[in-house]
Structure 1
Amino acid sequence: MGFGKTAGKSCVQQVKRTKMWYRLAPAFALAQAMVLAIVLAAVPGTARAQNYTFNSVKVEGNQRIETATIVNYAGLERGKRVSAGELNDAYQRILGSGVFQSVDLVPQGSTLVIKVSEYPTINIVNFEGNRRLKDENLEKIIESKPRRVFSPERAERDAAALAEAYSQQGRVSARVTPRIIRRSENRVDLVFEIAEGDAIEVERISFVGNRAYSDRRLRRVLESKQAGFLRTFIRSDTLIEDRIEFDKQVLRDFYLSRGYVDMRVLSSNVEFTRERDAFYLVINVEEGQQFKFGRITTRSEMPGADAGEFQEALKIKPGVVFSPSLVENSIARQERLAVRKGIDFMRVEPRITRNDRDLTLDIEFVLTKGPRVFVERIDIEGNTTTLDRVVRQQFRVVEGDPFNPREIRESAERIRALGFFETTEVDAREGSAPGSVIVDVDVAEQPTGSLNLGGSYSVSDGFGVAIGFRESNFLGRGQRLSFTASTAQESQLYVLGFTEPYLMGRNLRFDLDLGVAGRESSFATYDIERLFFVPSLRFPLSESSYLAVRYSYEDSEMIRRGDEVISGEVILNEIAQGNRTSSALGFTYAFDSRTTGLNPNAGVLLEFGMDFGGVGGDNKYIKSLAKAIAQTRVLNEEVTLRASFEAAALHWRSDVSSRAVDRFVLGPNTFRGFEPAGIGPRDLSNGVNDAIGGNYYAVARFEAEFPLGIPEEVGLRGGLFYDVGNLWNIDNVDTTGGVIVGAEGALRHVIGFSLLWDTAFGPLRFNFSKALRKEDYDKEQTFDLTIQAKF
């Protein structure tokens, strides 16, 4: 019952509210219509667009910018009807000029008033907080300059560019804030406040997916390095994004040159360490399978080109590990053969067939006719010191010759190999006429001088020092100028050297060595004074060999050191000969496959030379020298093995006996473990131990270089060596009164350990040696050091 009463009341109230709504509805509808009308009247789109006509323009607030210039920016014509949109466009043009801080256009009847507020001019630009980068370097980066109009947008761009420059230095947390200081006459000082932050280093570089090569070997390929205790001197241990991209390309090239044609860099991930003070760089690679060369054939589609003849020019053989460089070398050989045979515009197209079953690549070299394009000219830029002709000499083509893209690329490589330029860009663009190209060469020079410091140590004599200066690009002419001053082992040697690599503009090298030497050495009881003059000419015989011819003149004398110094009878006999001159003609032939051979990890050097004395002068002789060096890398290229053999012979033909200065004397560079002249025949008469040299010597050297297991960024590698050799024979020697030992010779055996250190100052080599077999009269040297520094 209760529930029913409540429901009834609710129904009655609802009926009453419904009746009231119907009574008020007309009044509510009228009110709605009035509000809608007011709103519609207030909407701008419903108003008719306003037009203006200006008979004059007035400019206010300008100080530096002429009124006419501002009116020209506006672009409004006097007396012409202007809409509100066109007025807004004028406003945008004035503001877009970039010289006004604010712009206001005020119509006043038939006059348009343009009120402007000019940006200030920059008085000076300063940098605060920078220590790693100098002001002069930062000024080259920014666009804002003194006496230019200040622009906030430009200042922000400059700040971003400065931050990016620090990022390239590995300081990714660097912050740059532009500030202005107001000065009189609407000027400001622009100050870039720099917080350099710390260098974020690469704590560790690791690889995923590599099976053929270890992490340590792949890290040596990369430009980026792990941080080590030499991080103060090593700039490559910081994280730079562009360098990582370069590393990925270098890594692909490394694998491709070793036959891994499917190698891919899947990703390179960079993560912060837990302390967020360094990075981990992880490179994910997919190596694929190693391919070798299969069938090598040549097919000719070029009139006048015999495929069989061009096939014979190839050097690669089936079974050799595939390398793009070998293919490029083969193409270059065939194209050079075409030039020699007078076949112009011939192109060689390598067509590769993949054999996944036996993992080989068949190469078919197709001889085709290329487009008739000629070289219009060669433009060289960026060489502020180096003369244009030095760069042009690296081109085998001149203006008017047929254009060969491969030859241009090889010329670019030769320019880079000069070592004169930090960067070299060689590009070809369309010439002024169809069928012609212009070759642009853009270079950036780098220092080409070096300073060498050498040292040696022996138990009996202590340290010796040698200093050398060398400039490889003398006066920008591509010439070598060197000077060596040596006081090692109490000897004085002063040598001036000069080299012209392109004599008379031809591929003919001219060398000249002029020197004066004086020696007061512990291994002899006499002094030596020498004056020598050696000009030579050298020219290539092939890609891997050359022939050098020379003339040598020497004026030498053995001088007694003093009455208080006792010499052996042999030396006294030779001192008595006085001053003697030598005039000789000689040659050297060399073959070196270490850089041009089929195997980039192995090669040989063969060298043979002879000198014929008696072209004038006092001494008559025939002197021969032969050298052979073989080198290879094993254990995934981690270990370098090197073996060398060197031998020489002197056949004396003069009526008088030879002297110690005419015969061979071995030093640490030839046979390690002994002092200069520390082995060989000696005279023990008069209680002395005089080295008198020998007519023959033979030395074999075996060594291995390997990683030490410490972080490679330290730059330390180890080495083991074993040397065996002999120096003997004193025929045609006046031994009257002498007590001779060692004339028949005896093999000496030396083992040793080396530390090779690539430092920021240059490579250092420490040799520690021990003679396993020697004679009692030999003079052992257990340590020597070589230093090279560049500037």
Structure 2
Amino acid sequence: MNFKRSTCAVALLAGLAGAVPAVITPAPAYAYVFTQVRIEGNERIEPETILSYANITRGVEVSAGEVNDALQRIQNSGLFETVEVVPQGGTLVIRVREWPTINQIAFEGNRRIDDEQLAGIAQSESRRVYSPSLAERDAANIAQAYSAQGRLAARVSPRIIPREGNRVDLVFEVREGDVTEIERVGFTGNRAFSDRRLRNVLATKQAGLLRSFIQSDTYNPERLQLDENLLTDFYRSQGFADFTVQGVAPELTRERDAYFVTYAISEGPRYRFGDVTTISEIPGVDAAPFQAQNQVRRGSYYTPESVDLTIRRMETVALQQGLDFVSIEPRITRNQRNQTLDLTFALTRGPRVFVERIDIEGNTTTLDEVIRRQFNTVEGDPFNPREIRNSAERIRALGYFVDAQVETREGSSAQQVIVDVNVEEQPTGTLEFGGSYGASSGIGLSAGLSERNFLGRGQEVGLSISTTKGSRSGSFNFVEPYFLTRDLRFSFSGWYRETDQDNAKYDTRSVGFQTGIEFPISAASRLDVHYRLSKDSIYDVDPIEVDPDTGELVGSSPILVREESGLFSSALGYRYDYDSRRVGLNPRTATKLSFTQDFAGLGGDVQSVTSVLTAGVESNAWRENITLRAEFEAGAVHMLDDQNSRVIERFGGQRVRGFEVNGIGPRDLQAPNEDALGGNYFWVARAEAQFPIGLPEEYGLTGGVFADVGSVWGLDDTAGANGVTVDDSMHPRAAVGLSLFWTTPIGPLRMNFAKAIEKQDYDEEQSFDLTISTRF
């Protein structure tokens, strides 16, 4: 490349970035015209790239300052460790030394966070140019990751190891340090609640006996703001409308290994509701139907939840009446003298705003339609902020995403809004290998493969096998929650089960499939219509005979001998299911009702009608510290065409706690095996309470008490051994007990300690049981 230069030569000196200065040799003149340029030292970087950074125009006079600027541009490109620009007569010499490339990245000294996680934090990459500033940023980000785990003393230092070919190994030396715990959490200004009660409200916990397993007792500054919000929500839910957090003071201990955290709070007075009224400021809209939805009671303590619940119920009325753009505005008047709040719900005309469009981003696997169908709002509908918030909750409840943010912004005009949905995918498939233990079934092994979002379509697929003492089973299931692009839940399942019955000396086998369609019939109820085909077998029933070795009688009841067979059952059925939580208008109380009927006889060998009713209620009491539950179940099997039921079709006796599986119900006491026979009918009522037991909330331990009463009875064939008629009367059984609930990383466990207080002499009791805790 040629340049025309002036008669004076000059060399300039300028600082290089980093530890080694970039050099321009000084010269007395101040202007140049270069005829050519020579680039030295570059190996990977093309000369054209370096010249583009220099940006010196050919044949144009340039000053010493402009030459210096060229040097700075080359240096600031981040591609070179050193840069030297030297004018030599009519030639501009640019000497560079490139940064080495990274051969590999390694981590040393890390135990709490594995290499794969740290590699995801670092932005430096193998086979890329090494950048000291980027390596320092990576070290700071890794240290921040340790800080989020409470290891504030963690230090990370980047080091390079030279290799051949201008390459280096980048090593991050990690000193993890100890966990900075929270030794004590205290409060000032609290009079209504003790420090112990308020600590249970916070996400931050004091260090305790299980500090090795509990991460919430580590100091995390970002958690303090969350704690302030939790304290505020708690106090206001208890009637303290003026509550404020005046300050949070974390104090490092003298040993610098723990913090003392003190919350300064102002409780203010505790208010009760005074007059509660509803008015309409919209012509033609009557306030009476809205007032009927009022859940705020005069004289009760103030709580934002009851106000919000009433607004939600009133908004539902507005939707039912086809009223758009109706806003429910709560107006509160404080009466400081008697510490009451007068509340007026005002029906006002809201702004006429419509949904312009719904934009979805971040879903790399899940299809847009799976997210979009969680909205009851479509483009062009009136904008309802609460419905958008409810849609966001439904998206999060899918369990497909680490995070799901739903926000709104102004659209093409002030009367249009755009709903932005930003999600972050998470794995939805699981491969499980596990073990179990039951007092009756002993030790069991299981394996399962499941996917909750198959191919990103929201479909569920599962395959599982398990084995316990005397039993083996396998199953497959598939669910399409939005069949034919409608709110139709299609399901298909198949199974194979082989069992040695507890408290009986015979075996059973069942193989079959079931398929069905479930759809809504109201906001809180659904109907499932299904078909089942199975072959259910009873076999290896030993008739009564003399054991040749012992000379004693052995064998099962003649009733079971007569029932030994393998029969096909083809049944069409339905299930009605009501759950108040689907509407969510009363979050403190949940009610459920389920009724199922199966009609066997659509082909096959069995003709029967099987009915099962389940009803239950759950409510929170005593400032939501105690959970109360009550359930009732009943069932009946009616055989048709003069058929007799078999034990495989009847109800077992495992429904009353305090008794073993098949531990109650009709039993042939004259048979050597004293077989449990089950019954055509059953009923059981259960009541229980779950409550804290004084341990820190983070331990996940709560207690409970329960009481069960019920019975299993009724046989079509009562002719037992030795010609004695089996007693199949309805004898009530009852048991009481204590429960210990433990939320563990492997799932919620429940330990029951029961005592039977009403029983028959031949019943099989079970005083202890360890199970997976089921949700209401």
Given the two structures, how large is their TM-score scaled by the length of structure 1? 0.81
User: Superposition pairs for residues 145-544 of structure 1, below 5 Å?
Assistant: 145-183=125-163, 186-291=166-271, 293-300=273-280, 305-312=285-292, 318=298, 322-339=302-319, 341-356=321-336, 357-381=338-362, 383-431=363-411, 435-449=415-429, 451=432, 453-458=435-440, 463=443, 470-483=450-463, 485=465, 487-488=467-468, 490-544=470-524
CA distance in 2, matches of 1:462, 1:69: 73
Aligned AA (2:135): A
Q: CA deviation at 1:270?
A: 2.6
| Aligned residues of 1:724 and 1:747 also touching (Cα < 8 A) | yes
Q: CA deviation at 1:777?
A: 0.8
User: Superposition pairs for residues 81-160 of structure 1, below 5 Å?
Assistant: 92-102=72-82, 118-160=98-140
Q: CA deviation at 1:194?
A: 1.6
Structure 1 pair 503/287, CA: closer, same or farther in 2 (3 Å)?
A: farther
Q: Find 1:568's aligned residue among 557, 575, 581.
A: 557
Q: CA deviation at 1:453?
A: 4.7
Q: Matched residue of 2:659: which SS? A: coil
Q: CA deviation at 1:205?
A: 3.6
Structure 1 pair 253/775, CA: closer, same or farther in 2 (3 Å)?
A: same
CA distance in 2, matches of 1:539, 1:342: 24
Q: Which residue of 1 aligns with 2:684?
A: 699
CA distance in 1, matches of 2:559, 2:66: 110
CA distance in 2, matches of 1:364, 1:686: 72
Q: Which residue of 2 aligns with 1:557?
A: 537
Q: CA deviation at 1:423?
A: 1.1
Structure 1 pair 755/275, CA: closer, same or farther in 2 (3 Å)?
A: farther
Name whichever of 217-226 and 164-173 sits farther off. 217-226
Q: Find 2:42's aligned residue among 58, 63, 82.
A: 63
Q: CA deviation at 1:523?
A: 1.9
Q: Which residue of 1 aligns with 2:15?
A: none
| Aligned residues of 2:311 and 2:328 also touching (Cα < 8 A) | yes
| Aligned residues of 1:141 and 1:158 also touching (Cα < 8 A) | yes
Q: CA deviation at 1:183?
A: 4.3
Q: CA deviation at 1:514?
A: 2.9
CA distance in 1, matches of 2:477, 2:303: 39
CA distance in 1, matches of 2:448, 2:656: 22
Q: Matched residue of 2:630: which SS? A: strand
User: Superposition pairs for residues 663-702 of structure 1, below 5 Å?
Assistant: 663-667=650-654, 670-702=655-687
Structure 1 pair 493/119, CA: closer, same or farther in 2 (3 Å)?
A: closer
CA distance in 1, matches of 2:460, 2:306: 32
- Whether 1:759 aligns to 2:738 is no
| Aligned residues of 2:541 and 2:560 also touching (Cα < 8 A) | no
Q: CA deviation at 1:468?
A: 5.9
| Aligned residues of 1:233 and 1:760 also touching (Cα < 8 A) | no
Name whichever of 106-115 and 243-252 sits farther off. 106-115
Structure 1 pair 359/549, CA: closer, same or farther in 2 (3 Å)?
A: farther
Aligned AA (2:555): I
Q: Which residue of 1 aligns with 2:619?
A: 632
Q: Matched residue of 2:702: which SS? A: strand
Aligned AA (2:571): S
Q: Which structure has the larger Rg?
A: 1
| Aligned residues of 1:200 and 1:277 also touching (Cα < 8 A) | yes
User: Superposition pairs for residues 610-621 of structure 1, below 5 Å?
Assistant: 610-621=597-608
Q: CA deviation at 1:779?
A: 1.0
CA deviations on 1:82-130 (whole Å, 9 max, x unpaired) are: 6676666555444433344455666778877666555444444332222
Q: Matched residue of 1:646: which SS? A: strand
Structure 1 pair 113/653, CA: closer, same or farther in 2 (3 Å)?
A: closer
| Aligned residues of 1:393 and 1:505 also touching (Cα < 8 A) | no
Aligned AA (2:651): F
Percent identity between the two aligned chains? 47
CA distance in 2, matches of 1:578, 1:105: 95
Q: Which residue of 2 aligns with 1:773?
A: 758
Q: Which residue of 1 aligns with 2:642?
A: 655
Q: CA deviation at 1:300?
A: 4.5
Structure 1 pair 786/467, CA: closer, same or farther in 2 (3 Å)?
A: farther
Q: CA deviation at 1:415?
A: 0.6
Structure 1 pair 260/503, CA: closer, same or farther in 2 (3 Å)?
A: farther
Given the two structures, how large is their TM-score scaled by the length of structure 2? 0.83
Structure 1 pair 202/595, CA: closer, same or farther in 2 (3 Å)?
A: farther
CA distance in 2, matches of 1:476, 1:691: 48
CA deviations on 1:315-361 (whole Å, 9 max, x unpaired) are: 55555655445544544455455555554444444444444434335
CA distance in 2, matches of 1:320, 1:126: 62
Q: Find 2:32's aligned residue among 49, 54, 57.
A: 54
Over aligned residue pairs, what C-alpha RMSD do you find? 3.7
Relative contact order (C-alpha < 8 Å, sep 6+): which is higher?
A: 1
CA distance in 2, matches of 1:487, 1:121: 55
| Aligned residues of 2:460 and 2:480 also touching (Cα < 8 A) | yes
| Aligned residues of 2:366 and 2:458 also touching (Cα < 8 A) | yes
Aligned AA (1:237): D
Q: Matched residue of 1:682: which SS? A: coil
Q: Matched residue of 1:378: which SS? A: strand
Q: Matched residue of 1:690: which SS? A: coil
Q: Which residue of 2 aligns with 1:546?
A: 526
